Homo-oligomer: A and B are copies of this chain.
Amino acid sequence: MSNSGTKDEIPQKKMRMDQSNINSHESDILESLQGFKVEKILNENAQTKTMFVHGKFENSEDNAVVIVEKTAFSEKSIRGVLSGDTTMKNTLKNDIYGTYEVYPKPEFNEIKTTVIYPATEKHIAKYTGQPVYMVQETPELYSDITLPYLNAENFSIQWVYNILEKKKESERIIYEDSHPETGFILLPDMKWDQKQTDNLYLIAICHKRGIKSLRDLNSSHLPLLRNILTRGKKAIKDTFDVDGSQLRIYIHYQPSYYHFHVHFTHLKFDAPGSNAGRAHLLSDVIDNIELRNDFYQKKTLNFILRENEGLFKKFQESGKVLDSFS
């Protein structure tokens, strides 16, 4: 199940693994939503017009999670919306400007709905909105809190090694530079349907192991970083005819998995996680390391954590999250 279009990005790889742990419990195709009872709104996103709802069907004690998302207009649907079939109500009029509430015929105004039923407590937790916080990680907080947490958790990245070793997803590879120090594999992110380039999204995963994140980068990695930047852009130009000047090329901090990788997205696509506070442009990273070898070991790094994340709890315990104004 893709969760694209939601603000709280959920790593696709983790979800894939989560699903294998769920006891298979086949349910029927729904004919209608007659008798569905909304229990709680778990989360909502007013920008993408999405809502995550916990509810129950009549005569059942099982939980359901329903994700409803308004669909984008198409050339076809817009003609149906802007037609005599639509009723409208004026809400404001000022000179040449008017605003209206309009109610098109249902066939032109589709909603995409995902039903998870029966849903486990884990599903409900996954889709429940969480407060988020901006954390300021000084070099000291990195070594005192973040690094011990990463080492203790020892997150599995076997799925990354499966890709690098061509055990999985080899048919999806767009480009490979096999050099062990500066090489990488470029492949489409699972969030991209590859139908159009407006929302192009690819990931470059480096062959070299042991680079956990931005924090580890220094001038010894400049050949790797420059290679990913140059050859990644060229491969995307060659394969998808999208110029490098049309791309946002960035690194996440914190990343969702601790093996070094770079995101390539189309400038037209506001990908989740492309905001200041998570995304660091690769060309800025190269510049900063050129300026100072230990830039990312000395820099205070800001990033956003959700309240239910393990790392957030560690920062919270240390009292290093909330601002205090004395």
Chain A interface residues toward B at CB < 8 A: 1, 5, 7, 22, 24-27, 29-36, 38, 41, 44-51, 53, 55, 66, 68, 70-73, 75, 78-79, 81-84, 86-88, 90, 93, 95-107, 109-119, 131-136, 198-199, 233-234, 237, 243-248, 250, 267-270, 274-277, 279-281, 283-284, 287, 291-292, 295, 298-300, 302, 304, 321-323, 325
Contacts and interface: CB of A to CB of B under 8 A. Distances in A.
A5 B111 contact: no
A109 B106 contact: yes
B274 A84 contact: no
A22 B115 contact: no
Contact of A275 (B70, B276, B322): B276
A277 B267 contact: yes
Nearest to A278: B276
Contact of A276 (B102, B107, B109, B274): B274
B93 A29 contact: yes
Given A81-B111, A104-B109, A248-B277, 18 more contacts: A25-B95, A29-B90, A33-B83, A47-B47, A47-B270, A48-B49, A53-B78, A66-B82, A98-B115, A103-B111, A109-B111, A134-B246, A135-B245, A237-B325, A250-B276, A275-B279, A276-B276, A276-B279
A38 B101 contact: no
A119 B325 CA distance: 51
B78 A68 contact: yes
Most buried by B among A25, A96, A107, A233: A96
A-B residue pairs, 8 tightest by C-beta: A34-B84, A244-B323, A276-B279, A103-B106, A46-B72, A70-B70, A51-B73, A133-B245
B323 A98 contact: no
A321 B323 CA distance: 42
Given A116-B97, A248-B134, A277-B281, A298 B291 contact: yes
